[in-house]
Amino acid sequence: MKAPWNIITLICLLLLCFGCSHGANRKEGMKEIPGIPGKITERVPCTSNPDFSYALYLPAAFDKNKFWPLLLAFDPGGSGMRPVERYKLVAEHYGFILMGSNDSRNGQTLAQTELILQALFADIHNRFPVDTSRLFLTGFSGGSRIASLTAMFYGGVRGVIGCGAGLPVNRPPLFKFDYFGLVGTSDFNLTEMTKLPVLFDQYHIRHYIGSFSGGHDWPPADCMETAFLWMLLNRLRDSNSPIDDTLVQHLDQKLHSLSEYPTYLQTHPEILQKEGKEQQILSNAFMGKDITWWEKKINAYQFISTGKPSKDDSLMYLRLLSWIGQTCYSNLLTAMVQDDRTIAARVIPVYELAEPNNPEPNFIASILAVRNDDPDLALKELKIAIKKGFNDRPRVMRQKEYDKMRENLEFFDLVQQMQ
């Protein structure tokens, strides 16, 4: 965190001033609060449904007799630890409870999502001294859509910090909330995010869209800090509370740096128009082009993006490479769910070309090999995935296809290598 000490002190004082404000949630007979202040708890089972859980960080100064803002995070891969680890210092500096769902992930039905939300919100309202007028949601990629969906149609949310993806549906929300969007300059969802202001203006939703140098990922901690400060200042303004000019100036400087690229794209629409035409070519190619065509196309993108083109072209081709990878991932998940092994076998090589350092295509290739009764290939692909950094042992243990390999000593050794 790079905020000056006096700014941090001011924020903490402002938060404490609103500790007993309207909307504070404290129920008599509240159960013992989980977690240890100043330390991350990796898994806290939900009281109403212990099958669901969340990662938790309580600020070191946490006091159960005060009311606290809370930020609930949704990761597309169901890792509550990812956002909690990344943003715990923000939570510490600005004094809010940070939770990350361990269950919400891409590919779930609305009914599954609702069950998870019910369990999470039951804990928020019944286990923690939360000021419900300062309840915020954040999410990345599909998790961003879940955060927005919750605010739009379930209510009770002050603001959403959406990262790397926009709204889940193009429908007017039932509830009002503030929205701060963050997206990487080489994120394939950049176009979608830069179009959000038009919708939010129609819906009368207060909003801000910023970018950071990077791809399709959770934003850096200083960007999340800026988004939280923006949310805080909006609340102070809405309550007609005095706001220190130093705080406003500090935020304005940070906002300016985040808005430069989105503002530039608005004045140069030809960049995103060119990108959209190229995406259409790629979409059509998934229906009929062979791996040789894809290899030439992807190699050309990689050469251009790492050569010495204009900054506009470099970022555009990085976004297109990211788009290919994400589209492969989405198509591959659908094919595996439908057990369409022909489509899966066609998509995996393209996916690996687009994202050569990503272990996911090799892991899915291993599962596909097990389905095809080819244990040698399954072990080979799993080894490659581990070499690339795959270490999700619980996911391997949940994968039913691997049940027939549990007694294989080589498989056992590979599983043991995972942390």
Domain region containing 136: 5-267
CA angle 79, 143, 273 (to 5 degrees): 130
Last residue of a domain, one of 267, 290, 307: 267
Q: Count the Cβ atoms, other than its own, within 10 Å of residue 27.
A: 10
My answer on whether 25 and 83 are in the same domain is: yes
* pLDDT score at 407: 87
Nearest residue to 234 (alpha-carbon basis) of 262, 259, 205: 205
pLDDT of residue 155: 87
Judge contact between 336 and 360, C-beta under 8 A. no
Indicate the residue type of 378.
Answer: A
pLDDT at residue 241, rounded to an integer: 81
Q: Read off the CATH number of the domain in which 168 is found.
A: 3.40.50.1820
Residue 190 tokens, joined: 């950049």
Would you say 138 and 162 are in contact if contact means Cβ atoms under 8 Å apart? Answer: yes
Q: Check which CATH number belongs to the domain holding 351 and give it.
A: 1.25.40
Q: What's the start-to-end Cα distance of the chain, in Å?
A: 29
Please check whether residues 55 and 78 belong to one and the same domain: yes
pLDDT number for residue 266: 84
Quick one: 136 and 41 in the same domain?
A: yes
CB distance 243 to 235 below 8 Å: no
Integer Cα distance of 342 and 50 in angstroms? 38
Please give the full DSSP string across 163-229, using - where no structure is assigned: ES---SSSS--SS--EEEEEEETT-TTHHHHHTHHHHHHHHT--EEEEEESSSSSPPPHHHHHHHHH
For residues 223 and 314, membership in a common domain is answered with: no
How many Cβ atoms sit within 10 Å of the Cβ of residue 349? 16
pTM given for the model: 0.83
pLDDT of residue 286: 87
Give me the pLDDT at residue 243, please: 80
* Total number of domains constituting the chain: 2
Nearest-angstrom CA–CA distance, 148 and 160: 6
Task: Supply the DSSP symbol for 105.
Answer: B
Q: What is the pLDDT of residue 115?
A: 96
How many of the other CB atoms lie within 10 Å of CB of 313?
15
| Residuewise pLDDT in 10s, the chain (419 residues) | 444 334 333 334 334 433 334 455 554 555 688 989 999 999 999 999 999 999 999 999 999 999 999 999 999 988 999 999 999 999 999 999 999 999 998 878 889 999 999 999 999 999 999 998 899 999 999 999 999 999 999 989 999 999 999 999 889 999 999 999 999 999 999 999 999 999 999 999 999 999 999 999 999 999 999 999 999 889 888 888 888 788 788 888 889 888 888 888 888 889 989 999 999 999 999 878 999 999 999 999 888 777 666 778 889 999 999 999 989 998 998 899 899 999 999 999 999 999 999 999 999 999 999 999 999 999 999 999 999 999 888 889 888 999 989 889 999 999 988 86
What pLDDT score does 33 carry? 87
Asked if 242 and 318 sit in the same domain, the reply is no
Note whether 34 and 17 are same-domain residues.
yes
Of 31, 88, 32, 93, which Cα lies nearest the Cα of 61?
93
Tell me: do 320 and 372 sit in the same domain: yes
